[in-house]
Amino acid sequence: MSLKTFSKGALRAAKNYTKGYSDVQAKVREATSNDPWGPSDTQMNEIAQMTYNQNDFVEIMEMLDKRLDDKGKNWRHVFKCLTLLGYLLHADSENVVAYFRDNIYIIKTIKEFQYIDEYGEDQGANVRQKAKDITNLLMDETRLRQERRSRTNMRDRMPGQADYDDDNNNVPQINARRTRGAGGDDDLRRAIEESKRLTEERFEDSDLARAVKLSEEELRWKAALADLGSPFDDP
């Protein structure tokens, strides 16, 4: 990892703390950063599993909305967010499908995304195509259900991949069925209604303690990075 790449990660971690982002939202920010790679399957799978938790679902949707609203030089935020969204639409919680069907205008707007980089490359083209593909998928219920079913069948045929556990992925296992069932629509409605309250309460004491520790570690690197001199894009 280069010094510049590390410094971007350090800045992102510091921003997660100063802006009060939760662990869940920090994971979405990391998966949809301006770094020229990813998001990885591991990152997307972890986020997909968290959409079954009502509180986590709200925080994930809030951060996706924020990333999808980025413009210009932050085109990677938008492109990688669309990549993550495509994964979520195929995997696990139906709440993600319901949310973006209700808010499909967000994706339709991105079909007009424009950005020409300093080399004259139309980076907006890939963003526009990705937005078009996702819009078409959201509007075709039969196709989406078939693709979701195919993915579920494929996962079920792969022992050890159906569950997301600590041994294989180094992340906490989440019960993927705890919000599934007849009450799913009620859960989604309550989750959206509680979005504002959760925004204020989500930074719990345990998160603060971890963030303070992380901030102290990152500050020790700040002196080493000070001689770089050039500003970084919003990570």
Can you tell me the distance from the alpha carbon of 29 to that of 80, in angstroms, rounded to the nearest whole number? 10
Asked if pLDDT for residue 26 goes beyond 60, the answer is: yes
Asked if pLDDT for residue 28 goes beyond 60, the answer is: yes
Looking at residue 81, its pLDDT comes to 98
Asked if pLDDT for residue 58 goes beyond 70, the answer is: yes
Least Cα distance to 58 among 169, 190, 161, 157 occurs for 190
Look at 64 and 233; give whichever has higher pLDDT.
64
Looking at residue 19, its pLDDT comes to 72
The residue assigned the tokens 């967000």 is 106
The residue assigned the tokens 């993600």 is 96
Q: What confidence tens digit (pLDDT) does each residue in 113-160 have?
A: 999 999 999 999 999 999 999 999 999 999 999 999 998 888 777 654
Q: Enumerate residues 6+ apart whose C-beta is below 8 A from 81.
A: 32, 64, 67, 68
Q: Identify whether the C-beta of residue 63 lies closer than 8 Å to the C-beta of residue 85.
A: no
Looking at residue 6, its pLDDT comes to 46
As given in the structure block, the two tokens for residue 151 are: 């993915």
Least Cα distance to 84 among 155, 150, 153, 134 occurs for 134
pTM over 0.75: no
Asked if pLDDT for residue 228 goes beyond 80, the answer is: no
Report the DSSP beta bridge partners of residue 122. 116
Can you tell me the distance from the alpha carbon of 151 to that of 167, in angstroms, rounded to the nearest whole number? 22
5, 78, 39, 150 alpha-carbon torsion, rounded to 10°: -170
Q: What is the mean pLDDT of residues 63-83?
A: 96
Can you tell me the distance from the alpha carbon of 22 to that of 211, in angstroms, rounded to the nearest whole number? 10
Q: What is the mean pLDDT of residues 168-178?
A: 32
Q: Read off the amino acid at residue 155.
A: R
Looking at residue 38, its pLDDT comes to 84
Looking at residue 152, its pLDDT comes to 83
Of the listed ranges 54-68, 80-94, 180-194, the least confidently predicted one is: 180-194
Give the angle 218-75-43 at the CA atoms, nearest 5°.
55
Q: What confidence tens digit (pLDDT) does each residue in 174-225 have?
A: 333 333 344 455 655 555 555 545 444 544 444 444 544 555 555 555 544 5
Helix/strand number for the chain, H first, E second? 13, 0
Q: What is the mean pLDDT of residues 71-83?
A: 96
